[in-house]
Amino acid sequence: MTTFLFSHPDFLNHDTGTGHPERSDRMRAIDRALAHEAYGPLQRREASLRDDDEVYITQAHSQHHLANMREIADRLGQTSTHIDGDTVMSPGTWIAARRAVGAGLDAVDAVLSGSAANAFCQVRPPGHHAEHDKAMGFCLFNNVAVAAHYARSKHGAERVAVIDFDVHHGNGTQEIFWADKNLFYGSTHQMPLFPGTGALKETGVGNIFNAPLSAGDGRDRFEQAFSERIIAPLDNFAPDVVIISAGFDAHDRDPLGGLRLFEDDFVWATEQIAGVARRRAAGRIISMLEGGYDLTGLASSVAVHVKTLMEVGS
């Protein structure tokens, strides 16, 4: 089997405006990195714009939230608007956000049907800050939470895990998963930092595992926290499928965080997750892009992450 890559040109049409860190150039930088001949074996697929996506969006989000996002999109015309201080909706955002959801659904279909060993979804806008009834932090819909619910409702996966190594805590995923013992959320992230959640004491119903790090922390502290607070409980949870919130803004170069990780650290984290997936979930992994705002750090980190997925899936 092989690794599938889901993306689409429509992700370039989500226009966040001049100077915004979550910009279309992120997609272009990744495209250039993955154009190398080493990525020839990737099975490249277009992220779907699905007729049934709203059914699955509302398994993770409220009907009110979906209707609110649609209403904002319908009244935009050719202008853009800020949902909050840093979350933008432009004329191209509604389609991009739905394709980001669609990529996750497509990846679940491919991996859980056995067509692919694993998958990477190169999408924007990101998703892990979007709560059940609220868009925030660059995010409209929580792509990984929608994919997790879809894996259960469509494919019968009983236990689904999301592992998040973005520099920012995925408050939305935590909130959506909070009271469901068969949904696991594990996160390494910098604290204090936006959005202010992710403390050790936030444990849900024993299914939430936070591993907060401090500005300046690098490989040693990251590996310890990831191993003890994330990988060990994940192994005990024995998921049927693992979804990664793959944010690369913990990279040393990133302007929005203060952690000191490098490409080798993302390789190591991917290998650790893959080890549990191999033991517990027949190797099934879906990875979805979250943050990463230095173009050089983002592109090189995505490249090694995808290469590692290709290697563990071969």
Query: Catalytic amino acids?
Result: 129
Please report which residue ranges of 178-314 form alpha helices under DSSP H: 219-225, 232-237, 263-280, 295-313
Q: Are strands 241-246 and 285-289 parallel, antiparallel or unpaired?
A: parallel
Q: Are strands 88-89 and 81-82 parallel, antiparallel or unpaired?
A: antiparallel
46 DSSP 8-state letter: E
Question: Is there a contact between 137 and 87 (Cβ–Cβ < 8 Å)?
Answer: yes
Q: Which two tokens stand for residue 227?
A: 């191993």
Q: Are strands 3-7 and 118-121 parallel, antiparallel or unpaired?
A: parallel
Q: Which two tokens stand for residue 298?
A: 């983002």
Q: Are strands 3-7 and 43-46 parallel, antiparallel or unpaired?
A: parallel
- Residues 6 or more apart whose CB falls under 8 angstroms from that of 20 comprise 86, 88
Question: Is there a contact between 193 and 253 (Cβ–Cβ < 8 Å)?
Answer: no
Query: Rounded distance, CA 187 to CA 144, Å?
Result: 13
Q: In 3D, which of 85, 71, 67 has the Cα closest to residue 22?
A: 85
Helix (H) or strand (E) holding 184: strand 183-190
Which conformational region is residue 92 in: left (phi greater than 0), alpha (psi within -120 to 50 degrees), or beta? alpha
| 230 φ/ψ angles, rounded to the nearest 5 degrees | -115, -60
